[in-house]
Structure 1
Amino acid sequence: MSHIDSLCAGMDMSAFAERLRLLLEARNLSQVRLSELLGVDPCAYNRWEKGATAPHLDTVIKIADVLQVTLDELVGRKAVSEEVKIHNHTLHTLWQKADMLPDSDQQPLIAVLDSFVKKSMVEQVIGFNSNRR
C-alpha cells in the first residue's frame, strides 16, 4: 500500500460509509450505478459502504467528483453544501428562471431534463460519443 493510499485507510470508515450511503440516496443512485460510473466492481463498492474496506485515494476523488461534493464533504469533515453548483453561465441563468416558474410549469422541464441526462449517462456507459451527430 502506498503512503497516499494509507491516508484513506486512516479515514473513519463508519463515518465515510454513512456519508456515502446518504449521498447515494440523496442523488437517487444505486450502488450498481455508482460502481459503473466509477469503473469499479459492485462488490468492492459494497465493502466501502459497509465500512469494511477503504477505497484508494484516486477512487475517493472520483467518488467526490461523481457525487458533486468536495473531499471534505465526502469524508464528513464539512457539511454537504445544499447549493447547486452550475458553472455554465447560460445554464445557471436558465436554472434561476426555471426555479421561479410555477410547479405545474417546472414538471415538464424536469421530465425533459431528466430524460436527457439519463440518455447521456447511458451513452457514456456504453461508449457512444454523444457529439457524433
Structure 2
Amino acid sequence: MKKSVVLVFIAIFLILAGIEGTKKVFEMRREAQKEHQIAFLQAHEKEMTEYIQKNSSDDIKVKYYWNTVERKQSMAFSRPTLSIKFDAIDEKKTKEENYYNEKNTLVVDTDKELTRIYDMWTTGTIIENSYTGE
C-alpha cells in the first residue's frame, strides 16, 4: 500500500515537473520569436521611417518603441502582420503640440518567414496614403 502511494506521488511530481518544463520551453521559444520579429523590423527601419516621413510632415523624426512589437494574423490563411508603436516628432513644435503624433501604430504586412514586406499602414491619422512597395 505504501509503495503504491509513493509511486503515485512520484508520478504526480514527474508530471508537474514536466508541465513546468514545457511552460519554460514555450516561454523561451516565444522570446526567441519576439527577438526575431524585432530584428526583422530593425533591419527594415529605414524603409519604415521613409514611409512615415513620406506620408507625414517633412521635418519629423521617428522614434520606435521596440518593446511594443506584436504579431497578429486575422485568419488561418492570411499573411501575418507585425505592429509597432512609434512617435512622429516634429522638432519645430512643442511637446504639447506633438501630443497627437505620439504612440501611433505602424502595421507591417509580411510573409510568414519574415523575409519580405508586402504593405504598411498606420492606425492613427498621421498617414493617409498606402504603401506601394515591391
- Normalised TM-score (structure 1): 0.30
Higher percent of residues as helix: 1
Higher RCO (C-alpha under 8 Å, 6+ residues apart):
1
Higher percent of residues as strand: 2
Higher-Rg structure is 2
